[in-house]
Chains A and B, each alone.
Chain A
Amino acid sequence: MAYSNKVIDHYENPRNVGSFDKDDDTVATGMVGAPACGDVMKLQIKVNAAGIIEDAKFKTYGCGSAIASSSLVTEWVKGKSLDEAQQIKNTDIAQELALPPVKIHCSILAEDAIKAAIADYKQKHGG
């Protein structure tokens, strides 16, 4: 499969790989996908008192596009409020990375990961 240069760049130099302590109160985790489908994304966000995402980290099991999509969203969510991050669309991710049609599900998964992380944060903080 021919990948775009952006996918290759994110795949070869993934941004923000890693984990935060999931029990830290400011950290929220979104894990989406399934091993049987060939991709699992874990996105963690660190949210400050003002409700701004200060930092983000990911770990992904999946193809190059899945890794690139998650790497990209860790960059995108940083500095955004939860509401702003909630607005990130899979189509933006797919467009930025020039994903081929068979890889669109990777961008959908990345969007789902953001939403799952935000939902986890809101649940942790009773809201």
Chain B
Amino acid sequence: MKLPIYLDYAATTPVDARVAEKMMQFLTMDGEFGNPASRSHRFGWQAEEAVEIARSQIAELVNADPREIVFTSGATESNNLAIKGAADFYRKKGKHLITVKTEHKATLDTMRQLEREGYEVTYLEPQTDGMVTVAMLEAAIRPDTSVISVMFVNNEIGVVQDIAAIGELCRSKGIIFHVDAAQAAGKLDIDLQALKVDLMSFSGHKAYGPKGIGALFVRRKPRIRLEAQMHGGGHERGMRSGTLPTHQIVAMGEAFRLAKLEMHDEIKRITALRDRLLNGVKDIEQVFLNGNREHRVPHITNISFNYVEGESLIMALKDIAVSSGSACTSASLEPSYVLRALGMSDELAHSSIRFSIGRYTTEEQIDHTIKIVHQAIEKLRAMSPLWDMYKDGVDLNTVAWVAH
């Protein structure tokens, strides 16, 4: 077995070889390298056709109209465009926005920026299982609420929000509803004909496409308007200027086409692997699965190993590529803000690891992971003064710690 084992598919996925193959056909002189905006020759026409096919492939995965898909540089840009664009366009309706504390930084930081620009934002605290309820949102809605943003699948704990119910609420109140679906596309069924979602963000590289490409769904009926955040040649119907990167778009299209074809088999396979992993570690003492058990994708599993510190655990798991918290926050020494928002103690949040399983994960890799996890926990607990205290029946909350 090749080491290290990659179990960080929620951070990024490798590009599927079939996708890379396709992508390479749109780069060189021998390929279709044209600018899709060139109207005067066949190089441009061919590139434009390839872009439109990809647009349809993306729309098909989520049951949308291709004309509702706007290409961006990734889900971060999609979130920025959706939230800022809608807040700006509908600012006469009101300057109050609602989101959730467990959202991705691309949403939270965008909201922070809007606060600096004079908007008011309510950050909802989810339940301890990570779920946001319709009642919570209903209580937070004001007459001047213009946009609500809730992610479909949480990137750290994998919980799936009830987007259908939240959509109904937003539509009934005339509020624009944005959903960050970066971790959801290709992981669960999304039907935008049925869901009352106005704006939805997608990422290429979370679904076996390349990095640097994403899309934003912008509903046509009822029509949602956005203030552009990137100005220039008026590409993407004026919503996002900039020359379209044909090779990346084609690749994302191919990745989404494959996702539609293979998603259901893949979910079954990944669920079995996830269950195998959970079964393999469940006999370790003081181990907790984070997030709602029922409403979750099988790809993301977040586990707390009490009395073991996360970073040293990651070191002990050096042959396994996992993360504590999301990749975007693991450069800092702060415990995951997502886990903190669930009301988890700092120390338990510090002791948490995200295992994310994907297309190329094998049973053998999961079995090896289980073995390494057992060894690591045993080694680190033998070294942990907190574990000793727990075993001696000391309540750690009653100890007078010297914080530093």
Contact = CB atoms under 8 A, between A and B. Distances in A.
Given A61-B309, A62-B312, A63-B311, A37 B384 contact: no
Contacts of B335: 38
A31 interface: yes
Interface in A18-36: 19, 31-36
Q: Which range holds the interface residue count of chain A?
A: 20 to 34
Q: Which range holds the interface residue count of chain B?
A: 20 to 34
B311 A36 contact: no
A33 B396 CA distance: 13
B272 interface: no
B404 A37 contact: yes
A3 B312 CA distance: 11
Contacts of B311: 1, 38, 62-64
Contact of A11 (B308, B312, B345): B312
Contacts of A78: none
A35 B349 CA distance: 10
A109 B401 CA distance: 13
Contacts of A61: 307-309, 383-387
B1 interface: no
Contacts of A19: 388
A30 B355 CA distance: 36
Interface string A1-17: 10100000001001001
26 contacts: A17-B383, A19-B388, A32-B402, A33-B404, A35-B347, A35-B350, A35-B401, A36-B401, A37-B346, A38-B311, A38-B335, A38-B347, A40-B385, A41-B385, A42-B385, A59-B383, A60-B383, A61-B309, A61-B383, A61-B387, A62-B311, A62-B312, A63-B309, A63-B312, A66-B312, A112-B404
Interface of B: 307-312, 315, 333, 335, 345-347, 350, 382-388, 396, 401-404
Interface of A: 1, 3, 11, 14, 17, 19, 31-42, 59-64, 66-67, 102, 105, 108-109, 112
Given A62-B309, A62-B311, A112-B402, 17 more contacts: A3-B315, A17-B382, A17-B383, A32-B402, A33-B402, A35-B346, A35-B347, A36-B401, A37-B403, A42-B385, A61-B307, A61-B309, A61-B384, A61-B385, A64-B312, A67-B312, A108-B404
